[in-house]
A = this chain, B = another copy of it.
Amino acid sequence: MPSYTAPVKDTQFVLQDVLKVTTLDIPGYDELEADFTSAVLEEAGKIASEVTQPLNKIGDEQGCRLENGVVRTPEGFKHAYDMMREGGWPALDVDAEYGGQGMPAVLNLATGEFFSSANMAFQMYFGLTHGAISAINAHGTDAQKQTYLPKMASGDWSGTMNLTEPQCGTDLGLIRTKAEPQDDGTYKITGQKIWISAGEHDLTDNIVHLVLARIPGGPEGIKGISLFIVPKFIVNEDGSLGDRNALSCGGLEEKMGIHGNATCVMNYDGATGYLIGEMHKGMRAMFTMMNEARLLVGMQGYAQASVAYQNALGFAQERLQGRDITGEKNPNGPADPIIVHPDVRRNLLDQKSFVEGARAFALWGATLIDQAHRNGDKEADDLISLLTPVIKGFLTDKGFDATVLAQQTLGGSGFTQEWGLEQFVRDARIAMIYEGTNGIQSLDLVGRKLGLNGGKTVMGFFDLVKTFIKENEDNTALKADFLDPLKAASKDLQAGAMYFMAEGMKNPNNALSGSYDFMHLFGHVCFGLMWARMAKAAQEALDGGASDRDFYEAKLATGRYYMKRQLPATALHLARIQSGADPVMTLDAANF
């Protein structure tokens, strides 16, 4: 059975030593002192380890069951859900006005990682609600906010996102679900939605569905889509629950992983819906949810990698097999622990350097969100907009790879259900697909985000890297190991962008054929930057006489590993990008 211990110290290192959150000029950040964040993180870690992690395997084995229209979640989920609610965790960063804790997004992401590591399928119930809260908060009327947000923030009600239909996932312009206007200002929603996570379950009194649908007579395609609030139970004027709405769960999807989360076919049969945001501008409102969801999905990628790594590491330190080639390390035992073997270490360090780099990258991203929301900082908003597809795509691809590596560390045991590693692989797999497949993320990055503000945003990112290198170029301890490789990687990224500009003009497929590699190239540069920043912070701590020298030395060693063994991948991605459209486009579709 796998176990989980929240990596509070690593998170604190990022928050306090690297990002130095209290020094950032963001409202509310002055509260984020080490004692406070430590207390919050410790408490979240305790619940994750003791309450939700023990349900992870149970959830996987039992899955959800649909009985007479009611979805039963696995044993213990309801109890754990109530404990999470009582602790105020679902609303950590929701406005205090609606009953939330009003904490910054960065703290929500930090604790969310622990909960996701402990039990991804369970945590998704809160994740979906969170996205729905954000959408209603951003686009709802005051009345809508008052009606829904307090109950959702308290966890009494949950939320969902309804986009996909059988004939359309990526291409939402093909949506057919109809929303017919009624005399009372409401709409009758009719259609079928599929793959609706947490679409129906027994954890809350009400479920607030946000549904994309088409108002007849509107523009065709994507420009005629509107967003609706469609609650499972109609909410009376006094806030109490009224009639059951005309919607139902028509089936549960059998899937590779996240069995504890109900993936529903949702049938809307003239259900009462309330327009949220402007008519035909539903995609804009939905993107509020999507962008937030994409960051959280990126986090799921490294959260699964993190728990998988912990368990792989524990195995590698205990499993005795073979001898250290340079001399026995466990002479009194029948063999040495396998962590003595270089190839086992390579495998573990690939995981470790990813998990820690990813955590730093994502938490930095969350500070940009806070900067954007709390300071109205447009530059920060644009930068996180640029980075969102990278966070989602790169972190989930590499996060999945890391779970596979962790599984490999265990050899045959990794393939058995008993050890639980294979569940991390199966659960992590979905993160590469939902909230827009990673291919779509790469198109978003290259097709839309690169051109943001006429390219100024991406230039701003390059400047940020350049400035960091320049500011630290006299730091000889950083230079060869961190700054030089970062500079080389950043040059590769710029060369990739230049290639798109020059050749994409001639033929857009020259850019689109390299989009996926560009996303990965971008991810590596972000990791290079974060590892350089972490190295600097670790070095400062060591220079400052920190007592836990091993911890900071380990950061430096792990960072050096990343720079030496992972970052050089940028050259490969650039070579692929510069090979252009020909290799990809030549073959006729019929001759594949």
Whether A335 contacts B509 by the Cβ 8 Å rule is: no
- A432–B407 CA distance with the chains assembled, in angstroms: 10
> Restricting to A539-592, which residues have a CB under 8 Å from any CB of B?
550-551, 553-554, 557-558, 560-561, 564-565, 568-569, 571-572, 575-576, 579, 581-592
The digit string for A423-441, where 1 denotes a CB below 8 A from any CB of B, is 0011001101110011100
Question: Which residues of B lie under 8 Å from residue A411 when comparing CB positions?
Answer: 169-170, 433, 437
Question: Which residues of B lie under 8 Å from residue A426 when comparing CB positions?
Answer: 256, 426
Whether A321 contacts B256 by the Cβ 8 Å rule is: no
- A10–B585 CA distance with the chains assembled, in angstroms: 21
A341 close to B (CB within 8 Å): yes
Question: Which residues of B lie under 8 Å from residue A325 when comparing CB positions?
Answer: 508-509, 512
With A433-B411, A584-B345 given, is the CB distance from A592 to B164 under 8 Å?
no
> Restricting to A341-367, which residues have a CB under 8 Å from any CB of B?
341-349, 352
- A322–B174 CA distance with the chains assembled, in angstroms: 9
A326 close to B (CB within 8 Å): yes
Further contacts, 20 of them, CB under 8 A, given A167-B320, A256-B422: A170-B322, A171-B322, A253-B416, A254-B418, A255-B422, A317-B592, A325-B512, A326-B507, A326-B508, A339-B589, A343-B513, A346-B584, A347-B516, A408-B437, A408-B439, A553-B591, A554-B592, A557-B587, A564-B576, A565-B584
- A348–B585 CA distance with the chains assembled, in angstroms: 11
Whether A584 contacts B550 by the Cβ 8 Å rule is: no
The residue in chain B whose Cβ has the minimal distance to the Cβ of A566 is B576
A340 close to B (CB within 8 Å): yes
The digit string for A63-87, where 1 denotes a CB below 8 A from any CB of B, is 0000000000000000000000000
Residue in A254, A558, A565 whose Cβ sees the most chain B Cβ within 10 Å? A565
Whether A589 contacts B255 by the Cβ 8 Å rule is: no
- A425–B400 CA distance with the chains assembled, in angstroms: 13
Question: Which residues of B lie under 8 Å from residue A306 when comparing CB positions?
Answer: none
Whether B343 contacts A417 by the Cβ 8 Å rule is: no
Whether B572 contacts A343 by the Cβ 8 Å rule is: no
Whether B417 contacts A255 by the Cβ 8 Å rule is: yes
Question: Which residues of B lie under 8 Å from residue A59 when comparing CB positions?
Answer: none
Whether B342 contacts A170 by the Cβ 8 Å rule is: no
Majority-rule SS of A interface residues: helix
- A325–B504 CA distance with the chains assembled, in angstroms: 12
Q: How far is the CB of A520 from chain B (nearest CB, A)?
A: 12
Question: Which residues of B lie under 8 Å from residue A215 when comparing CB positions?
Answer: none
- A508–B586 CA distance with the chains assembled, in angstroms: 46
Whether B174 contacts A334 by the Cβ 8 Å rule is: yes
- A425–B422 CA distance with the chains assembled, in angstroms: 12
Indicate how many identical chains form the complex: 2
**What band does the interface of chain A fall in when counting residues whose beta carbon is under 8 Å from B?**
35 or more
Question: Which residues of B lie under 8 Å from residue A352 when comparing CB positions?
Answer: 592
Q: How far is the CB of A401 from chain B (nearest CB, A)?
A: 9
- A256–B557 CA distance with the chains assembled, in angstroms: 34
A195 close to B (CB within 8 Å): yes
- A529–B563 CA distance with the chains assembled, in angstroms: 31
- A27–B53 CA distance with the chains assembled, in angstroms: 61
* 16 pairs of residues in contact across A and B, judged by CB atoms under 8 Å: A253-B416, A255-B417, A256-B417, A317-B589, A317-B592, A325-B512, A342-B515, A343-B516, A345-B584, A404-B429, A550-B588, A550-B591, A554-B587, A557-B583, A564-B583, A568-B575
Question: Which residues of B lie under 8 Å from residue A195 when comparing CB positions?
Answer: 412
- A587–B422 CA distance with the chains assembled, in angstroms: 27
Q: How far is the CB of A455 from chain B (nearest CB, A)?
A: 20
With A326-B509, A340-B589, A433-B408 given, is the CB distance from A425 to B557 under 8 Å?
no
- A576–B347 CA distance with the chains assembled, in angstroms: 13
- A589–B516 CA distance with the chains assembled, in angstroms: 36
A168 close to B (CB within 8 Å): yes
Which of B164, B171, B513, B571 is in CB contact (< 8 Å) with A346?
B513
Q: How far is the CB of A493 from chain B (nearest CB, A)?
A: 16
A399 close to B (CB within 8 Å): no
Whether B571 contacts A583 by the Cβ 8 Å rule is: no
Q: How far is the CB of A170 from chain B (nearest CB, A)?
A: 5
A260 close to B (CB within 8 Å): no
Which of B321, B412, B439, B585 is in CB contact (< 8 Å) with A347?
B439
A131 close to B (CB within 8 Å): no
The residue in chain B whose Cβ has the minimal distance to the Cβ of A400 is B404
